Structure 1
Amino acid sequence: MVTSLLPCNGEKMSKRVVKAGDTAGLFDLISQLKSTVRRRTGRDVPVIAIQEAGLDGFWIHRILERDGIESHVVDAASIATSRRKRRTKTDKLDGETLLRALLAYKRGEPRVCAMVVPPSPEQEDRKRNSRERRALIAERIKIVNRVKGLLFSQGIVGFEPLKRDRRTRLEELRTGDGRELPSNLKAEIVRALDRIELVLRQIKDVEAARDEVARNECDPSKVANGMSMLKQLRGVGADFAEVLWSEGLYREFANRRQLASYAGLTPTPWQSGSISREQGVSKAGNPRLRTVMVQLSWFWLLHQPRSALAQWFQERVALDGGRRRKPAIIALARKLLIALWKYVHHGAVIEGAVMKPA
């Protein structure tokens, strides 16, 4: 659905349908709209486009910009909508809402919506490695749990599908009542072990590709340098370094608030009259970056106990008698992310942090 507003049509918005992936049809429609404006007004006007960030990715944005069209990608959740429990929603209404948001944004109205900064194709592709590894790890866990569950139903515990002797051990297994494994069950488990071995090989390939990037000191995109700087810190391994860099720290941020907002680690106060409370962090940013920052914060306390950030955490928790460790760890994650950003981009030393031995 393409919704358009022409300067010669007043406030009337037109809706036209273009098939998914039909770029030629999209540009034909844009040409028709430009011709209509030129015929009615006698002048050419710039074309400005807006689309929601979503499953389409950024390829439409790129082809529009390549054709000289000003294109914007908006976070759909940032656009104000009706707060009624049951609100009308159709593609036509969504298109009109996007156009109104674009008009307000171009007028310079503050806080109308949040525009997304699209990554380059190279930056987008760089995220694939860490995301594929995460998916493979989840697949491995799923298959392992499936095998253990099947065996548990036969009274068998203690079998580890990830050990090297998994196939030998499988032949030795007996059910809780002393029988050999049923033939169909055994065949199913053998096929599951085949999938586990495939996943393990793929994880090894992905990790080898990650390590190759980290070793490439001549990388002009500074990827290797950023990841190697992160890995120099005690408690930050290759996996943490790759996710931190590819999911967030490769970007340029104007200030620490933009960075924390991108990770969804900013506070969300709720205030009305005399009522005021905190709702927790927004969780409106990159979920992968936010997750790894919370995990890294716990590791930071373990491996960097003498750092200023770890001591701040201990002091804050001590004031509450140790009862508010979870909210405090989220605050530490935000502070640590900002400290890592300053360290990678500006060379600012993290106070009290210990580096790995050379």
Structure 2
Amino acid sequence: MGKYDYTGKTVYMGIDVHKKTYACVSVCAGEIVKKDTMPASPLALINYIKNNFSGAIVETVYEAGFSGFHLHRKLIDAGVKNRIVHPGSIEVATRDRVKTDKRDAKKMAVQLSAGRLRGIYIPTLEQEAKRSASRLRNSIVKLRHQVGQKIKALLFTQGLIPMDDDTALSKRWLNQKIEEVEALNYPVGFYYTLKRYADKWLSFTNDLAEIKKEVLMMQSDEEKALLLIYESAPGIGEITALKLKDELGDMQQFTSEKKLFNYLGFTPVEYSSGENVHQGHISRQGRAMLRHIFVEAAWIAVRRDPQLNEIYKRLLIKRGSKRAIVGIARRLAGRLRSCVRDGTLYEIKKEALSAESTDAINDCCVTS
């Protein structure tokens, strides 16, 4: 029997991407037509599509994750319409407890064919490169924090600091502790360990200063203007503005606040039964780091922005502090989106909220 002719037909392919293999399931006209596993090579996948679905319109999908956007760009260059989806957006049946590569690929293919999957935003190569530099800094911040914790744990074991010491580490503070250890004639092994940890902490600190300098030098005039807008929002400093700019850019991809909230994971999960609609906790899809930034900024914003402070107080009475601050973070993100898209600085308004804004306060009420 000859090969099936797919000319003019649309084939939907789900791809479960792994380090060494791609598991692919293809759906056409509502039926599964092929299931295969191949080496994890974009070229092998493109040749597979060309050899098996010649003349067809092929749409593919895979989950966002460790593999990044390289496969996506190769598929697009080959004329394949691909999208990357957030893993949490893929529907899973309540009793579906079996997870295999081809089952995952099948879910994606079926849901793609039904139009139930929405792709995430794909950054340009330039944006991705700048994100990597920003994320490098985040990684070193975490490493420095870990070393700082080890230093304090070591000092505590010898009674050199109290258990609840909350001193911010600095070069001066470390030098004082090293001199103290030296003066008190602690064993050489203890002094050596403390000194090595201190050297490591200072090395990371120097790395962070160098990375910050280099990252700022990479910014174009347009990006510098964007940074000023991000920094104009209450609670957003220079480093945080860099992170937001690298992750969110000029926000032109977010044509509505809802799309931004979806990206940040600030959209409440909805439970519907008949005519009843209940909203629960936020979805937490998207990058947790961005949600954390907006929540931290929200705590400062409620002290600096009278309108946000008024909203927070009302939400606090209705929903409690945890939900209230997430609502403020969501509203702050929406305001900042408008500023970035319009090219205007964030403006703190002193006047009271309008009736329309007051009515919209409940829109902020989402659970963290």
- Please report the TM-score for the alignment, with normalisation by the length of structure 2: 0.78
Distance change (3 Å), C-alpha of 1:234 and 1:161: closer
Residue 254 of structure 1: aligned partner: 255
Distance change (3 Å), C-alpha of 1:265 and 1:234: closer
Among residues 63, 70, 76, which one is paired with 1:65 in the alignment? 76
2:274, 2:348 → 1: CA distance? 43
Corresponding position: 1:332 with 2:328? yes
Q: Which amino acid aligns with 2:49?
A: I
Gaps of 5+ in 2: 1-21, 351-368
1:6, 1:270 → 2: CA distance? 30
Q: Which amino acid aligns with 1:241?
A: A
Residue 130 of structure 1: aligned partner: 134
Q: Which amino acid aligns with 1:313?
A: Y
Q: Which amino acid aligns with 2:322?
A: K
3-state DSSP of counterpart to 1:15: strand
1:314, 1:161 → 2: CA distance? 35
State the Cα distance separating 1:4 from its structure 2 match.
4.3
**How well do the aligned residues superpose, as a CA RMSD in angstroms?**
2.9
Q: Provide, for residues 32-64 of structure 1, a one-character-per-residue CA deviation record: whole Å limited to 9, x for no partner.
A: 214xx5xxxxxx223322211111011001011
State the Cα distance separating 1:179 from its structure 2 match.
6.4
3-state DSSP of counterpart to 1:173: helix
CA contact (8 A) 1:5 1:14 kept: yes
How many residues in Structure 1 have an aligned counterpart in Structure 2?
324
3-state DSSP of counterpart to 1:73: strand
2:260, 2:204 → 1: CA distance? 34
More strand by share: 2
Relative to structure 2, which stretch is displaced further, 120-129 or 328-337?
Answer: 120-129
Residue 153 of structure 2: aligned partner: 149
Corresponding position: 1:170 with 2:171? no
Distance change (3 Å), C-alpha of 1:12 and 1:237: closer
CA contact (8 A) 1:264 1:285 kept: yes
CA contact (8 A) 1:268 1:281 kept: yes
1:49, 1:279 → 2: CA distance? 32
Corresponding position: 1:203 with 2:203? no
3-state DSSP of counterpart to 1:81: coil
Q: Provide, for residues 211-253 of structure 1, a one-character-per-residue CA deviation record: whole Å limited to 9, x for no partner.
A: 3345x42xxxx32211112224454321221122222253321
Distance change (3 Å), C-alpha of 1:293 and 1:95: same
Relative to structure 2, which stretch is displaced further, 234-243 or 161-170?
Answer: 161-170
Residue 313 of structure 2: aligned partner: 314
Corresponding position: 1:184 with 2:189? yes
What is the identity percentage for the equivalent residue pairs of Structure 1 and Structure 2? 25
Does 1 or 2 have the higher relative contact order (CA < 8 Å, sep 6+)?
A: 2
Q: Which amino acid aligns with 2:256?
A: N
Distance change (3 Å), C-alpha of 1:316 and 1:166: closer
- Please report the TM-score for the alignment, with normalisation by the length of structure 1: 0.80
Corresponding position: 1:5 with 2:37? no
Among residues 93, 99, 103, which one is paired with 2:103 in the alignment? 93
Corresponding position: 1:50 with 2:61? yes
CA contact (8 A) 2:85 2:118 kept: yes
State the Cα distance separating 1:191 from its structure 2 match.
1.8
Give 1:87-126 correspondences, 5 Å limit.
87-105=97-115, 112-126=116-130
2:48, 2:215 → 1: CA distance? 43
Residue 40 of structure 1: aligned partner: none
3-state DSSP of counterpart to 2:269: strand
Gaps of 5+ in 1: 38-43, 106-111
Relative to structure 2, which stretch is displaced further, 193-202 or 272-281?
Answer: 272-281
CA contact (8 A) 1:249 1:341 kept: no
